[in-house]
Amino acid sequence: MAKEKKCTKCGEVKGLECFSKSKSAPDGLQYKCKGCVRKHYQENKEREKERHRKYYQENKEYYKDRKRKYNQENKEYIKEYNRKHRQENKEHYKEYYQKNKGHRKEYNREYYQENQEYYEEYYQENKDSYRANNAKRRARKRSATPEWLTEEQDLKISLYYKIAKALEMMDGVKRHVDHIVPLKGKGVRGLHVPWNLQILTAEQNLNKSNSYSDW
């Protein structure tokens, strides 16, 4: 098998690692080398962006179906990859969020609107799973709520959720009421009581783990 190939653009003979894969080519590699492809894209960036955007719009359903199928077949892998990536890049995510929180909010809203049909269909296909997870969450909270809580303490718990909602409405930043000691942590289980609650932004809460380092 040949170890080199001639680029049809620049005419140079280069190693096979200099060519991207192509299913339609007889040898499985593109005719142009990576350098020429990259140079062409840089010189025609706006035109290429428009071409890709138009192609995507014309084939939107195909891409949606492919993405949905991939997500279904690789659910656990994607979940673990995202978790690990967030843990390894906490500072990057924090910095990016601060710089782009306004843009990100608008992008998420537009992305959801464009893909609302996909999300609704995904929910319908996984409705039982959503219900089961919500039921587990509610059950954990109930079992972690002591019977000896006073009415005043119950009101304090409700107040945390009201304050979180009020803050969210004021600045548009999503808030979570978090358990300082997790209800289902690694080696420790907290209680659903006022002194075990804190209000965090969604980003801060998602960057947390269910471990409790003070124990």
- Same domain (yes/no): 68, 110: yes
CATH of the domain at 10: 3.30.60
Integer Cα distance of 177 and 193 in angstroms: 12
How many domains does the chain contain in total? 3
- Same domain (yes/no): 42, 7: yes
pTM of the entire predicted model: 0.37
Contacts of 180 (CB under 8 A, 6+ apart): 190, 196, 197, 198
Enumerate the β-bridge partners of residue 176.
200
- Whether residue 184 lies inside any domain: the answer is yes
pLDDT digits (tens, 9 = 90+) for 101-127: 666 667 667 766 777 777 777 767 776
**Residue range(s) defining the domain that contains residue 42:** 1-57
| Helix, strand, or coil (residue 3) | coil
- Same domain (yes/no): 66, 106: yes
- Same domain (yes/no): 4, 52: yes
Token pair 């718990």 is found at 157
Give, as one character, the DSSP assignment of residue 29: B
Integer Cα distance of 43 and 48 in angstroms: 9
- Whether residue 130 lies inside any domain: the answer is no
Predicted confidence pLDDT, tens digits, the chain (215 residues):
678 999 999 999 999 999 999 988 888 999 999 999 999 989 998 888 898 889 988 998 888 888 888 888 888 888 888 888 888 888 877 777 777 766 666 766 776 677 777 777 776 777 666 666 665 566 566 777 788 888 888 888 888 888 888 888 888 888 888 888 887 766 677 888 889 889 988 877 777 655 555 43
| Helix, strand, or coil (residue 186) | coil
